[in-house]
Chain A
Amino acid sequence: MHLRKTYTSIRQLTKATCTVQAEGVGNEELALVGGKLAQVVKLNGDRVTLQVFGGTEGLFTDTPVQFLGAAPSLHVGPDLIGRFFNAYGQPIDGGPAPEGEEREIGGPTVNPVRREQPHQLIATGIAGIDLNNTLVAGQKIPFFADADQPYNEVMATVALRAKADKIVLGGMGLTNDDYRYFRQRFESAGVLDRIVGFINTTEDPPVERLLVPDMALTAAEHFAVDHGEQVLVLLTDMTLYADALSIVANRMDQIPSKDSMPGSLYSDLARLYEKAAQFPDGGSITIIAVTTLSEGDITHAIPDNTGYITEGQLFLRQDSEVGKVIVDPFRSLSRLKQLVIGRQTREDHPQVMNAAVRLYADASNARTKRENGFDLTDYDERTLAFARGYARDILAVDVNLDTNSMLDKAWELFAQHFRPQELGIKENLIETYLPKVPAG
């Protein structure tokens, strides 16, 4: 970085921005404002507006502003591995600053014709994912979860079982406890040599978070593109990222659209999530994110825009009948599953998946009927019994099975509770897979 001229005439200060009189400044260029990192967000004649990541507390109108001549960047290379950094890419684990090639973050997009269609199944052992919402390398998918749900735990489990070459953790507004949890889990699993972390905790200024996903994705692109590796990027919590976007937008007097979010929220989020890709020479970036909801409301602008961008979403839910956390089969969806199920998995996978979910839905209708005080039919009772087995033995996130075992278990439950005609499954599959004698 080439240090450039220093200016000392700040014309305006707001909570997150300052405006300085300066010349020869490029859009999106970085600057140091009294030692705090800032980025150009608006130019108007000689007035340069900077977003100060650490907040503007304590800045004077004559605090020196030094422009750095470049957009934010990261030094990529093997030094990143096993390390934890802050939002600026500076070490927070006591180690030395990483060396390597300097890359601007937020780089260009992949040419769509150079992408490959995602095709590699990612197995997690969790049936709510592998059976019903199969993940594929190159996919982007968030957990939609209320604040009290164990999303970080489930995400860590998924990450550890996913057999990725590298796991890049982008933590935004992570509590210190959660940050320590991730580190400890990765450490005790003995996978620190595959981890890179960029962490903004609740103790750090919120606007700094805006750099975290781009840092994480720049590191990920290095491993996936330069080394052809399978990279899994974990982004938690994207709701707090979006909140930071709205803070800056409001300070810049932008007209807010729905839920006081900036009108550009869709594009802002899509720019990040679309970094997920299967590259032509084997490398891939898969993004698993967390979007926390407020009381399950998915119509709020943040989950709503996220759902329109990502390739499905995973809902966690407590199944009250069996008292276990499951990945909700109704509202969860993996849009890329059809690229792999029945092809890389057994031929009966798609139909078994659909039949089980449909019967589970019938059970939930039966439950509503019961709650309303109506008599249940024999069929209703059988669906309820099926649903209990399905939730307890297959769906619960603490069950760890391979996909064939999940399918076999589902067939067992089918045979126990239903007539073949009630399954709506192709007859040739029924002949091959339905156990002839109900398992007892």
Chain B
Amino acid sequence: MNISFRINGTNKNVDIKPGELLYDVLKSIGISSVKKACETSSCGVCTVLLDGRPIASCSYLAAKAHGHEITTIEGVSREAEILGSLMNSEGAIQCGFCTPGFMLTVIAMKRELQNPDEQAIKNYLVSNLCRCSGYEGQLRAVKLYMEVPQ
């Protein structure tokens, strides 16, 4: 079957198999930044934005993306640059495998929440696992990022 969606601002038409997952379709069209770690919507590594909201691409039917806007880290370069430099200075990057999915979640959170407190931030990030950083550097970076004027 054929679906069309917008990916990082451009229109895309792809042939997919019924039941094919969004992660696999994104990989097949050359989006290499998306990673996969659990395949059961429990780690956040495969996060992409669907109309601006984080979803787990490993468990999301590609067909459901028809007519929607998908954003990956390649599509948020300005915000990623600001957040990335804070993550850098706060030591939030280690193996990097969780990094793109984590950043997309944080970027969506900033667009969505006004002045969240620490608990609200942690709530939002609870499904983004990181085995390397112990979350400390990530949280420091996120708090600083939330204070950056829009």
Do A and B form a real pair? no
